[in-house]
Homo-oligomer: A and B are copies of this chain.
Amino acid sequence: MSDQGASLISSSSAPPPPPGPPPKVTNRGRAAGPVANSNADSSDLLDFEPFAAPGPRGFPPLTEYLDIWEVDMMRKPTEANKQQHHTDAFNSDYLIVRRGQEFQVKIVFNRPYKPAEDKFALEFVIGSSPLYSKGTYVPVFPTEDRQSSWEGCVKTTSDNTLTMGVTPTADCIVGQYQMFIAVMTPYGIRRTRRADSRDLYILFNPWAAADAVFLDDDKERQECVMNELGVIYHGAYDDIAERSWNYGQFNYGVLDACLYIMDKSEMPITNRGDPIKVTRKASAMLNSLDDNGVLVGNWTGDYTYGVAPTSWTGSTEILLTYSSSKTPVCYAQCWVYAAVFNTFLRCLGIPSRVVTNYFSAHDNDGNLKTDIILHDNGRIDRGRTKDSIWNYHCWTECYMSRPDLPAGFGGWQVVDATPQETSDGMYRCGPASVQAIKHGQTCFPFDAAFVFAEINSDVVFYSRKKDGTMDPVKVNQTHIGRMVLTKSQGDVTRRDITSQYKFPEGTKEERTVMEKAEGYGCKRETSNPPEADVDLVLPALGVSVGDDFELTLEFVNRSDQPRTVDAYISGSVVYYTGVTSSEFLFRDPTVKIGPKSSVKETVAVKSKSYMKKLVEQANLHFIATGKVKETGQIVTAMRVVTLHNPTLTVTVSGHNKANEEMVVTVEFTNPFSFGLEGVYIRMEGPGVMLPKFKYYSVIPGGSSLIWTEYFTPQRAGDTRVIVTLDCPTLRQVHGQASLAIKP
């Protein structure tokens, strides 16, 4: 209350100073002016807006009219505004509210407000050239007889103080507004001077029934808007691994960084109330291609000039680096794109979650075939096999109505910021309705056909003849899109949401859906080559990195004739994208199997054969193919073995109380005989710790390190301290400690 008694209105009633130089107009002849496209633009509202030219002696003194002494945005986290708008967790000094819901502003006048005489309005302004018809300038009036699109009312008055309620429309623009108070006098409008402290943020509102992102499930809202702690699944569908992630949507600066992303994209301000347009634009902006967006993708294994994708522990560092450096951040792979996108969405108030699709067809432009090409003797032709199946792929789902589509396609929508090589010419994807994908309605925007292919493609094995033609010899319709996982609500367990994307394999509904998608131009393999009567079985294996192990390949002869198989067993180190790095094992046994019996072939795999060749996520890919001599039929089996990395031991001690100091200890022992060089350890935790890292130039073979760090939890609740260790020869090492902080 330091400025009590001082007018916030410009005291001079002289005409305003001449405006500065006009903005540079680059679109002369094309449009009447540049498009407002930045929260950072300031408006051109004048302190005094005269209704007519002043007389020869200027305007009379306007002191008899209402004056503003103080404005209180009631922006403390403990005050009603942030409490009721579910924004108290934001680490921000500014008022943050959600649209379609009332918030309050307290005004101290120079004298009691007289409703019959005094005319004033709160003015909310966003971007340059604000205009009422565009929703970028909104006056809000206290009296019932005069209301604009946003409702206003007097809540209470007491002496000179008036508390006003303001309800933005449920479809208003989302972003950073400036607020002014305008008092109308017979000579013109007097207005409070611009002050940062009266800026406010208006976000999407999943709690408001009229908002396009309304989500009528409190548990889901808590998870998909309020929760900062993420669990992201990777590994293989039958050997699932997980990593924790700090979305950090409430951390200091993250909201500004999210708005900066839209400003950087030059997205017109007027489009920023539409969650469809906001999420589509963001799917382009989260990757650096085309538009210098947030994250640079890198799958090469060489991350010398940036942070390895496996090393990040959360989104905060990425977003703050981008908004301060204004250049793309290095480096990301799919889960980093998905997680940072998730932060963006939750921060702006759009419910969202990260999902993982196991065996994801990729880069194939809506084609429902992933081709694996074999020589005509049955051995895989690695030179000609260009398609790859990602062991897993992460994307983001966001929740919204879809008024642009027929009824029934609202709800969860896929958005994907990972750049795809051959999507619709642009490195962006979605929002694509999950319901549309499930029902094969691939005709609806945006990119539904593309996502449909990611979970529904067939794996087609071709045998390549000497003359260059190829015949399909085996079609596997169940390999791709094996499982879709996300984190459970309010829990750190996993939730299988495959059934939201597809009907069970083999059902009538599934066939109908595939036919519908084909009707919309998705191309499938239509031939149905006869099934071989010999099966190849490669069972699942749990192997730790550095172990020697045995791979057992079973040949099952279902016929009542003897069979001979010329088999080819190939073991390769692969990226998680399914791309082969190098082959470390090859065998070509000839296996004889009696009628109705089976034979096991065991292959010993020595760690020294694969260790030197490992790439970051340590996946070994075994593919066994063969040709049955008697029938000429082709048999195949594939198996991804995810090597289990050593883990970090993270222990926490202290009183588990908010605002009391605690200690975390990270321990790691190098399990190898060789030293690990260039090691980064990163650590952070939702509500407990901002990102920190330490660098170790070398951890000698067999030796241990201990890192002890003090931290002070900021709020009560279940959370985690999340730690990663990363170096060029060993990536994807995680650890975490769970905490239940008491108030």
Chain B CB within 8 A of A63 CB: no
Docked complex Cα distance between A139 and B385 (Å): 19
* Contact between B404 and A29, CB atoms less than 8 A apart: no
Docked complex Cα distance between A449 and B123 (Å): 32
* Most B-side CB within 10 Å, residue of A139, A297, A369, A467: A467
Contacts of A649 in B (CB 8 A): none
Give min CB distance, A166 to chain B, whole Å: 15
Within 8 A of B (CB), among A130-179: 131-134, 137, 139, 141, 146, 148
The verdict on A467 contacting B425 (CB below 8 Å), with A31-B388, A575-B29, A579-B29 known, is: no
Contact with B along A564-591 (1 / 0, CB 8 A): 0000000000010101110000000000
Partner of A133, one of B373, B405, B445, B580: B373
Chain B CB within 8 A of A47 CB: no
Contacts of A51 in B (CB 8 A): 466
Contact with B along A432-459 (1 / 0, CB 8 A): 0000000000111110010000000000
Contacts of A27 in B (CB 8 A): 299, 421
When all copies of this chain in the complex are counted, the total is 2
Docked complex Cα distance between A615 and B28 (Å): 11
Closest to A123 in B: B468
Docked complex Cα distance between A29 and B404 (Å): 38
The verdict on A425 contacting B267 (CB below 8 Å), with A121-B467, A405-B443 known, is: yes
Contacts of A137 in B (CB 8 A): 468
* Contact between A284 and B467, CB atoms less than 8 A apart: no
Within 8 A of B (CB), among A262-280: 265, 267-268, 270-271, 277, 280
Closest to A425 in B: B281
* Contact between A577 and B425, CB atoms less than 8 A apart: no
Contact with B along A4-34 (1 / 0, CB 8 A): 0000000000000000000000011111110
The verdict on A442 contacting B404 (CB below 8 Å), with A35-B421, A132-B464 known, is: yes
Closest to A284 in B: B425
* Contact between B386 and A32, CB atoms less than 8 A apart: yes
Docked complex Cα distance between A365 and B301 (Å): 42
Contacts of A148 in B (CB 8 A): 469
Give min CB distance, A380 to chain B, whole Å: 12
* Contact between A385 and B32, CB atoms less than 8 A apart: yes
* Contact between B468 and A280, CB atoms less than 8 A apart: no
Docked complex Cα distance between A682 and B552 (Å): 78
Docked complex Cα distance between A519 and B131 (Å): 26
Contacts of A123 in B (CB 8 A): 468
Give min CB distance, A456 to chain B, whole Å: 16
The verdict on A300 contacting B403 (CB below 8 Å), with A129-B386, A466-B184 known, is: no
The 7 A-B residue pairs with the shortest CB-CB distance in the complex, in nearest-first order: A29-B299, A403-B521, A30-B299, A29-B575, A404-B521, A28-B300, A445-B445
Extra contacts, 17 of them, besides A139-B467, A284-B425 (Cβ < 8 A), are A28-B579, A30-B300, A30-B579, A31-B421, A129-B386, A131-B373, A132-B464, A133-B371, A133-B460, A134-B386, A137-B468, A148-B469, A184-B466, A270-B365, A271-B422, A281-B425, A426-B426
